[in-house]
Amino acid sequence: MGNDPIYTPGDCFDTFPFPEDLTPNIPAVAYEVDPRAIAIAKSAARLNELRENWLNPADLVRREPEVVPGYPDRILPVNPEAERELKKRTLTNLYNARPTWLANAHKALDEAVAAAYGWPADLPDDEVLARLFTLNQERAAAQAKKK
């Protein structure tokens, strides 16, 4: 209609106050040995692995190489019963169920991110948001002074 909201990276990621020296404008190779980045990457990879294993368990799927180079393998159900079960395995259903292993994986990632900021791991959400807002305001003010 012309007035629909649109997503632009500048509205979100370009202004998000990432931990110091782990910002998107720095090539990842510049901080690949930073223990904070390593901890976040390991926690995020573990969370992704756990979710993937739940979404597509080995007993219900087979993986076939994609014919187009560079694309990931195709994930196909092993039989019609598996197909029916896989239709129930959505991220929405997983997060609605929120099993302990998922909560623990998110907690580990949250702790790694908090440590990257130098914050305690057990801050309530409203405190995290307040700190991010303050950090964003501080960085915006510093950037405005440079201009």
- Residue 9 CA to residue 27 CA, distance in Å, equals 17
Count of Cβ atoms closer than 10 Å to residue 95 Cβ? 12
Tens digit of each residue's pLDDT, the chain (147 residues): 567 767 665 555 567 889 988 988 889 899 999 999 999 999 999 999 999 999 999 999 999 999 999 999 999 999 999 999 999 999 999 999 999 999 999 999 999 999 999 999 999 999 999 999 999 999 889 888 887
Query: pTM for this structure?
Result: 0.82
Please tell me the predicted confidence (pLDDT) of residue 16: 82
